[in-house]
Amino acid sequence: MSDSVLEAPARPAFANYVGGNWQPANSGRTYDKHNPARPSELVGEFPASGEDDVNAAVEAAAAAFPGWSRLPAAARGAVLARAADAVETRVEEIASDMTREMGKPLREARLEAGRVAAIFRFFASEAWRPKGEQYEQLATGSSLYTLRRPLGVVGLITPWNFPAAIPAWKSAPALIYGNTVVLKLAQEAPLTGLHLAACLDEAGIPAGVLNVVIGRGAEVGTPLVRHPKVVAISFTGSVAVGRQVREEATERGKRVQLELGGHNPLIVMADADMTRAVEAAYAGAFWSAGQKCTATRRIYVQAPVYDQFRERLLDRIGHGKVGDPADPETEVGPIVNETQLNAILDAIEKGKHEGGKLLSGGARLDDDGYLVAPTLFENVADDAMLSCEEVFGPVTSLYRFETIDEAIERANAVQFGLSASIFTTSLEPTDRFVNEMEAGLLHVNSQTAGADVHVPFGGIKGSGYGPHEQGRAALEFYTEVVTVYQDV
């Protein structure tokens, strides 16, 4: 650990980070980012980058690739380890900037900022782990082995809702395995990602190895996906954009990985610990105002405990703290922007129109900040919009079921397959759930959201495409396998 990273770190410039320099967009254009809790408050003026900026970033990454990929993995790991130290010295600053720019309640923003250090540390340690397999040749017994080599310049496109964790869990594996990176941060949350770049800069990452470009999807994301020197794209975001990115990337022969939306069910069996189940339903559906890909969108409750569960969840909603995300007690903060706010309010109206019964919430709470009251529906038809489409806000629905067969069948009846939970104290429904539930992340007696850094993360069905992220699973996407027949 170098002493320098323990000094008070500088704020990141509100600029792109290209070839080791903080610089404005080539065009000089900028856009203003406002605080969703107090929309009149300006968070900062950020570069509205375009194709020129992407081209410069890709060229810098391509030039840096030979040197970076040939460094010993331990040297690359040392950069990530120092960056983890730098992140830890500024967790509070990163968290409060995250809260200001995208409205995540401070208590969750702190956890996310701290998690970046854990992600960097986990991937720093990849330097010491095996990456190939050793065999013998059939005819001679001579050496035969596999190598995992870096791909080259990779393009990373990230959403605003986990503005620290997702840029970290894409860039750290890309870097440790020897790739160089062009990271396109979400326009709604650039400042948090810039902190990560600043930490890597302080940690001594060589110029051009990591490049960060800020701007709109069509102006930065599209040229990045199309650039001939970008060999792989890792994307997290919405289904519609993800499909477009996959088409653009695959038709150019690029490797592509998508992490998309979810419609995550929570199943409550009659024998469940009701207190824990209610708490998990509340947290899963409403923390971060439901703006998580893994948020709980449907809650299936077994008939004998349905009424009791509904009352207890309504009581919990009544006691939940909704409001200023900068208050460390706040559980439910604002929606990220006015467009998303209106989309959520429209979806609530549509839910009512389609016959859903509103049990709580359903309206905006504040004339200034973009707050929506935690919203609970029941009597929503299985084929209604609320049961099938991702409404990216604090909106969830209750469904009554009789048997585990019925619960699993209905819970699986969506295009998504990201995360799912069951609450039960019995092994039989647990066994059915872990074997039959169509989701990449399964929770038994814990909420649908939340992910450890050292294990695979990702969805199946319409929620994902390509290898999973995080943990050792990341090796699959960020390296290519070659087989070496080595005779003496």
> Catalytic residue among 88, 112, 188, 293, which?
293
**Applying CB under 6 A, does 160 fall inside the site for ligand NAD?**
yes
Q: DSSP string of 286-298? A: HGGGG-STT-EEE
**Applying CB under 6 A, does 245 fall inside the site for ligand NAD?**
yes
Query: Among residues 181 and 241, whose Cβ is nearest to ligand NAD?
Result: 241
Classify each residue of 174-203 as buried b or exposed e, where b means 16 or more C-beta atoms within 10 Å of its C-beta: bbbbbbbbbbbbbbbbbbbbbbbbbbbbbb
Which amino acid is located at 204 in the chain?
G
Classify each residue of 108-146 as buried b or exposed e, where b means 16 or more C-beta atoms within 10 Å of its C-beta: bbbebbebbbbbbbbbbebbeeebeeeeeeeeeeeebee
Q: Do 420 and 408 touch, CB atoms closer than 8 A?
A: no
Query: Binding string to ligand NAD for residues 102 to 141, with x set by CB under 6 A, is what?
Result: ----------------------------------------
> Catalytic residue among 202, 259, 438, 469, which?
259
Return the residue of 152, 237, 265, 374 that touches ligand NAD, per CB under 6 A: 237
* Number of shown-chain residues binding ligand NAD (CB under 6 A): 30
Return the residue of 202, 390, 424, 478 that touches ligand NAD, per CB under 6 A: 390
Neighbours of 412 (CB within 10 A): 16
Q: DSSP string of 142-159? A: -EEEEEEEE-SEEEEE--
Rounded to whole angstroms, how far apart are CA atoms 114 and 165?
A: 9
Cα–Cα distance list, 19 to 228, 391, 429 (Å): 19, 39, 54
**Applying CB under 6 A, does 236 fall inside the site for ligand NAD?**
yes
Burial of 403 per CB tally in 10 Å (0-12, 13-18, 19+): exposed
Cα R_g (the chain), whole angstroms: 23
Query: Among residues 200 and 212, whose Cβ is nearest to ligand NAD?
Result: 212
Rounded to whole angstroms, how far apart are CA atoms 331 and 444?
A: 23
- Please give the residues from 257 up to 276 whose contact with ligand NAD meets the rule CB under 6 A: 259-262
Query: Among residues 262 and 333, whose Cβ is nearest to ligand NAD?
Result: 262
Return the residue of 14, 162, 477, 478 that touches ligand NAD, per CB under 6 A: 162
Return the residue of 238, 412, 415, 446 that touches ligand NAD, per CB under 6 A: 238
Token output for 435: 């074997």
Cα–Cα distance list, 188 to 34, 78, 101, 239, 257 (Å): 9, 31, 7, 18, 22
CB of 336 to ligand NAD, least distance (A): 8
**Applying CB under 6 A, does 392 fall inside the site for ligand NAD?**
yes
Rounded to whole angstroms, how far apart are CA atoms 486 and 359?
A: 68
- Pick the piece of the chain touching ligand NAD (CB under 6 A) from 23-31, 232-240, 297-305, 341-349: 232-240
**Applying CB under 6 A, does 179 fall inside the site for ligand NAD?**
no
- Pick the piece of the chain touching ligand NAD (CB under 6 A) from 76-84, 92-100, 109-117, 182-190: 182-190
Burial of 487 per CB tally in 10 Å (0-12, 13-18, 19+): exposed
Token output for 231: 């060999």
**Applying CB under 6 A, does 159 fall inside the site for ligand NAD?**
yes
Rounded to whole angstroms, how far apart are CA atoms 75 and 332?
A: 42
**Applying CB under 6 A, does 163 fall inside the site for ligand NAD?**
no
- Please give the residues from 445 up to 464 whose contact with ligand NAD meets the rule CB under 6 A: 459, 463
Is 389 in the active site?
no
Return the residue of 35, 187, 234, 421 that touches ligand NAD, per CB under 6 A: 187
- Please give the residues from 45 up to 64 whose contact with ligand NAD meets the rule CB under 6 A: none
**Applying CB under 6 A, does 222 fall inside the site for ligand NAD?**
yes
- Please give the residues from 406 up to 425 whose contact with ligand NAD meets the rule CB under 6 A: 418
**Applying CB under 6 A, does 244 fall inside the site for ligand NAD?**
yes
**Applying CB under 6 A, does 219 fall inside the site for ligand NAD?**
no
Is 293 in the active site?
yes
CB of 293 to ligand NAD, least distance (A): 3
Closest CA to 159 of 227, 222, 217: 217
Q: In what order do the strands lie in the sheet with 21-23?
A: 21-23, 16-18, 210-214, 180-185, 153-157, 230-236, 255-259, 464-465
**Applying CB under 6 A, does 183 fall inside the site for ligand NAD?**
no
- Please give the residues from 278 up to 317 whose contact with ligand NAD meets the rule CB under 6 A: 293
Return the residue of 90, 100, 184, 195 that touches ligand NAD, per CB under 6 A: 184
Residues within the interface to ligand NAD (CB under 6 A) = 157-162, 184, 186-187, 217-218, 221-222, 225, 236-238, 241, 244-245, 259-262, 293, 390, 392, 418, 459, 463
Active site members:
259, 293
